[in-house]
Chains A and B, each alone.
Chain A
């Protein structure tokens, strides 16, 4: 175990009681943040579900081109999640060079995902979807679509910045493996939110 790892892992400095969950404080904090963030997303999704369920003329605009693009985005995101795990493995083994490399690959895939996401947005805007209007049905659609996916995009961007900072910092020795692990937790969480966004926002609304 390298030195910073002890610092982050441990409240085992002899003068402290062990953590009941046996995880360092920063990891606990990340889990807690994720729990709270789940509720933020849950509130958005409840709002979306409420309005969608209560609105008979909810548009179902997606054709196979959108679905294929969403599938590609999913594959990219899930792959990036797998690759981030390689970074964690390397970091745990103290292999700074490889951990950095894998983090950067994750970052690149994440950027690709974000670009496709924005492209998707522009596609919608090009079809005349705004926050309050669209060509197909209730005006609520745009507001719900952009706020739920916007929330996701906001998280992706935050995570990309974190990946960059932590990746560089880990390479230079400023950060420890625990930071990389934390970054992984956040990145995986975004992946998980996407698993709800895809069926609830896109697949429910395939045009018939």
Chain B
């Protein structure tokens, strides 16, 4: 079958597994030592994306699929995710009344 290519040892999976746990560990360490910190959000997002990427590529096996599928999923998903995120930029305006709210 198409995905038969990744029959390699369990070793790779265990490395990924450890990395995912490490990502969570790092997140907790950063957030815990700096509760409510100013730049927490971007750091958390970057780490979450890193963990998710590992999951999608290896645990979901996307890395072993055909390039066309990787491209399709990546471009489609990242694009729609990027565009929906435009929405919450307006929340700054509600909060701070800028720009031009007054």
Say which one of A71-79, A150-158, A162-170 lies at the interface with B.
A71-79
6 extra interface residue pairs, beta carbon distance < 8 Å, beyond A35-B77, A42-B80, A42-B84: A42-B85, A71-B24, A81-B17, A89-B10, A92-B1, A195-B24
Bound state CA distance, A207 and B35, in angstroms? 6
Q: Are A191 and B65 in contact (CB under 8 A)?
A: no
Q: Tell whether A82 pairs with B13 under 8 Å between CB atoms, given A39-B80, A54-B94.
A: yes
Q: 9 A-B residue contacts at CB 8 Å? A: A9-B1, A38-B80, A42-B81, A42-B85, A46-B84, A55-B95, A78-B17, A181-B3, A191-B59
Contact A206 B88 (CB under 8 A): no
Chain A contact residue count (CB 8 A cutoff): 56
A49 at the interface (CB under 8 A from B): yes
Contacts of A178 in B (CB 8 A): 1
Given A50-B88, A54-B91, is A196 in contact with B31 using a C-beta cutoff of 8 Å?
no
Chain B residues near A177 (CB-CB < 8 A) = 1
B14 at the interface (CB under 8 A from A): yes
User: How many B residues are at the interface, by size bracket?
Assistant: 35 or more
Min CB–CB distance A34 → chain B (angstroms): 8
State in angstroms the CA–CA spacing of A158 and B17 once bound together: 24
How far in angstroms is the closest Cβ of chain A from B68? 5
Q: Which residues, 16 to 74 on B, are CB-close (under 8 Å) to A?
A: 17, 20-21, 23-24, 27-28, 31-32, 35-36, 40-41, 44-45, 47-48, 51-52, 55-56, 59-61, 65-66, 68-69, 72-73
> Within the assembled complex, what's the spacing in Å between the Cα atoms of A203 and B37?
11
Which residues of chain A are within 8 angstroms of B66 by Cβ–Cβ distance? Answer: 20-23
